[in-house]
Structure 1
C-alpha cells in the first residue's frame, strides 16, 4: 500500500471500528476475569486472552484485505459467494455440533462458524448482481434471482438450525428496496408481522374487525373525496387478513417449537398463569431477566470497572458473548451505555454517507449492505439484552467474544473501506487525466 492510498482511507471509520473493538475487549475482560493474584491480560487460556489474539489477527486480516486489488472483490464476488455457501453445506458432513446446532468447523484450537462469513459473501454477490447493467430489479424475474441469492444461505443456516443468524439475511431486503425493489414488498412484510403479533395479543376476531373497520372508513373517505376507488383491493386485503389471522394460532402452536413459544409469550406478556410465568422466567427468560437486572442496577454512572456485582457473580449466562452489553450497563451505567450506542450510530451514519458518495454502483450497494447487516445485529442484540425484543442469539458486532464473529465483521467492514478508498483514487486519476 502506497502513501497515496493510505491517505485515501476513511480513518474515521477505522477509528470507530477500533474504538468499539477496544471497549468490547475491556468488557469481555471484566465479564470473564477471575479474582486472585497473578491475573494477566495475556493469559490466553481465558476468554479475554483469546479475544486479544483474535484482535491481533484481525489487524493482520485488515492489512491483507486492504492489500488486495479492489477489483478482485467484484470480479470474484460470485465465486466467493458459492465457496461460502458450500462451506455452509459442508458443516453437515464435516461440522461440529454445539448446543444442538451443527454450525461450526472444529479446527482444534478454535471453531469457525461459516454463517458469519456468508454475510460478506452474500453482500458481494448481491452487489455484483444488482450493479449489472442488465439487472432491472423492478421486474419480477430479476427480483426472484435477487431473492434466491439471499434465500440460499438462509436455507442452510435454518437447517443447522440457527434461526437467529438466518434472520440477519433479511437485512438485504431494504438494500434491494434502495435499488428499486417495489415498496409493496416491505409493506407486505411489515403487514404480515403486524397481523401475526396483533393476532397473538388480541385474537383473530378482533383483528379482523379492526382491519374491516379501517378499510371501510378509508374506502368511504376516498369516495367522499370523489377519488377513483375500486372495491376489489379492499376485498383482497380483507381476505388476506382473514386467512393470515386464522392460521396464526395453528402456526404458533404446531410449527413453532416450545422454546420459541415461551420466548414470544414472555416478550408479548401472553402468559398470565403465575406458575407458568415463573417457570418461563427461570428457563427461557432467565438470561433476559438477569441482563435487565444487571443493566438497571448500573444506574446513571455505573458501579465502576470490575465492580459489577452481577457480572462478577456470573448471574448472566453467556455474558461475554450475546449479553456483553449487560456488562456495559452495570459497570458503566447510562453514560457508558449511551456512549456505546452513539459510537455504533456514528459508524452506521458514516457508512451510509460513504455508500451514498460512491461512484461505483457495486461499491454503493455493498456499502449499504454493510450498514444494513451491522444495524440489524446492533438493534436486535441490544433490544434483546434490554428486553424489548425476544432472545434470538446473535452477537453484538465488534463487541461479543469470538473469533468467527470478529473476523467476519472485520472482513465485511474493511472490504468496503478498501472499495471506498479505491474509488477516491480512481476519481482523482480521472480528474487529473481530464
Structure 2
C-alpha cells in the first residue's frame, strides 16, 4: 500500500466533518438524556462526576480525544494492526471469563478501579470488523469460495462463542449483522432469503399448530410446482426445500424448549403475544411503552418525565434510554433521533462505496452493519416488538466501553476515508 504524501499531510481537509457533526450530536443528545434518566436533585449539575451523567461527560471528552488521535494515525498501520487487535480482544474475552466482574448475571466486565469497568465485548466488534476486512480484501479471497467463506465465518464466530459464554446474548447477536458485509462482497442473496424463511417458519411454528404450518408449506409447494412444471430441476429443488422446511417446523418446539432458558422463552412469548406478564418478565417493556406513549407528539419537557423521574423503567440510562427520549421529547424528538441515525448510516454507506481500497470499503460496511443492528434491536426492544436484549443505543446509552468502542469503530473509517485519494493499492 502506498500514499501520496501531500494528501497525507492535508488529511484534516479530507475528513468527513458532516459525519463528525452527527457523531457529536448523538453524543450530546445521549448526555442530556442520561442526565434526565437518572437525575439526582442532590447532584443537579450535569458535569458532576459523582453521577452517571457526569461520568458520561468525561467519556465524551475522552471519546473526542480518542477520535482526534485516530485521525492523526498513519492509515497504513490500521490494516497491519488488525490481527494484533483481534488477538488482544480475544485474550480479553478469555480473561473476562476467568476474572470478570459479574453484573446482572453477565460476567462481561473487567474492573479497572475507581468505579470504572472495561467491557471487552464492545471492543471485539471493531477488531472483528478490521480483521474481516483485511482477510476479505486479500488477493484471491472470494466469499463465494467455500474455504474463504468458512475462514470469514470463523473470524466472526470465535468472539461470538466467547461472548456467549459470559453469557451476553445481546452482544453475541450483534456479530450476526456482519452477514451483510459478506453479502456486499458477493454472498448469494439466496442465503439471506433462506435465513429469512427460517426465521418466519420459527415464529409461525410458535404461534400456530405445527400441522397448520405444514399444510401451508405443502399448498405453497404445490402451487409453485404447477406454475413452473416445465422446469423439472427447479421443481425438484422446491420439493427438497419444502421437505427440509417441514422437518424444521417439527423441530422448532423441541429446540425452543431445550435450547433457550426459561426467562428467554418468556420474553419471546410476551413479544409474540402468546402470554401476558406485565408484572414479571414483561414489566420492563410494558413500562417502556407507557413511557414512550405518554410523551405524545411533543413530549413532557426536559426533566419532566414521570416514568423517568420515578424510575418505573429499569436500566433507563442504558438499554432503555430511548424511553426517556420518547417521554420527554415526544414523537417529534424520537423522529429527530431516528433521522440522525438514518442520516449517519446513509453517510457511512456512501463513505464505504467511495473507497478505492477494498479493505476500507469492507470495513465501512462492517461499521454500518454493527451500528444499524444496535439501533434496530435497541429501539425495537423499547417499543415492544422484539424481546428484551441487553444492547446499548450507539453514542446515546450510558457507558464508557460502549461509547469508546463506537468512537473507534467510526473514526477508523473516517481516517481511512480521509486518505482515500492517497491509496494507490490496498
**TM-score with structure 2 setting the length:** 0.95
Q: Which residue of 2 aligns with 1:342?
A: 339
Q: Which residue of 1 aligns with 2:152?
A: 146
CA contact (8 A) 2:298 2:330 kept: yes
Q: Which residue of 2 aligns with 1:257?
A: 261
CA distance in 2, matches of 1:249, 1:325: 33
Counterpart of 2:136 (choices 121, 130, 133) is: 130
CA contact (8 A) 2:8 2:422 kept: no
CA distance in 1, matches of 2:239, 2:347: 44
CA contact (8 A) 2:228 2:235 kept: no
Deviation at 1:183, TM superposition (A): 2.2
Q: Which residue of 2 aligns with 1:201?
A: 207
Counterpart of 2:382 (choices 381, 385, 388) is: 385
Q: Which residue of 2 aligns with 1:424?
A: 421
CA distance in 1, matches of 2:47, 2:118: 22
Could you list the per-position Cα deviations for residues 229-282 of structure 1 after superposition, in whole angstroms to 9, with x for gaps in the alignment?
A: 4542123112211211111111111221111111011000112xxxxx3xx321
Q: Secondary structure at the match of 2:110?
A: strand
Could you list the per-position Cα deviations for residues 204-232 of structure 1 after superposition, in whole angstroms to 9, with x for gaps in the alignment?
A: 11111111110110110112xx4454542
Q: Is 2:327 the partner of 1:330? A: yes
Q: Secondary structure at the match of 1:281?
A: coil
Counterpart of 1:213 (choices 214, 219, 222) is: 219
Counterpart of 1:84 (choices 86, 89, 93) is: 89
Q: Which residue of 2 aligns with 1:116?
A: 122
Counterpart of 2:177 (choices 160, 167, 171) is: 171
CA distance in 1, matches of 2:281, 2:56: 28
Counterpart of 2:282 (choices 282, 285, 291) is: 285
Query: After TM superposition, which residue ranges in structure 1, 4 or more long, deviate above 6 angstroms?
Result: none
CA contact (8 A) 2:37 2:309 kept: yes
5+ residue gaps, structure 2: 1-6
Deviation at 1:107, TM superposition (A): 0.5
Matches within 5 A, 1:242-253: 242-253=246-257
Could you list the per-position Cα deviations for residues 159-185 of structure 1 after superposition, in whole angstroms to 9, with x for gaps in the alignment?
A: 110111100001110110110112232
Counterpart of 1:59 (choices 60, 64, 79) is: 64
CA distance in 2, matches of 1:355, 1:2: 19
**TM-score with structure 1 setting the length:** 0.94
CA distance in 2, matches of 1:168, 1:26: 26
Q: Is 2:81 the partner of 1:93? A: no
| CA RMSD in angstroms, aligned pairs only | 1.5
CA distance in 2, matches of 1:425, 1:288: 49
- TM-aligned CA distance change 1:256 to 1:283, over 3 Å: same
Aligned length: 418
Q: Which residue of 1 aligns with 2:360?
A: 363
Q: Which residue of 2 aligns with 1:297?
A: 294
5+ residue gaps, structure 1: 272-276
Deviation at 1:65, TM superposition (A): 1.0
CA distance in 1, matches of 2:258, 2:87: 34
Deviation at 1:80, TM superposition (A): 1.1
CA distance in 2, matches of 1:13, 1:69: 20
Q: Is 2:17 the partner of 1:11? A: yes
Q: Which residue of 2 aligns with 1:274?
A: none
Q: Which residue of 2 aligns with 1:394?
A: 391
Q: Secondary structure at the match of 1:111?
A: strand
Could you list the per-position Cα deviations for residues 119-167 of structure 1 after superposition, in whole angstroms to 9, with x for gaps in the alignment?
A: 0000000000100012011111111001000000000011110111100
CA distance in 1, matches of 2:97, 2:338: 37
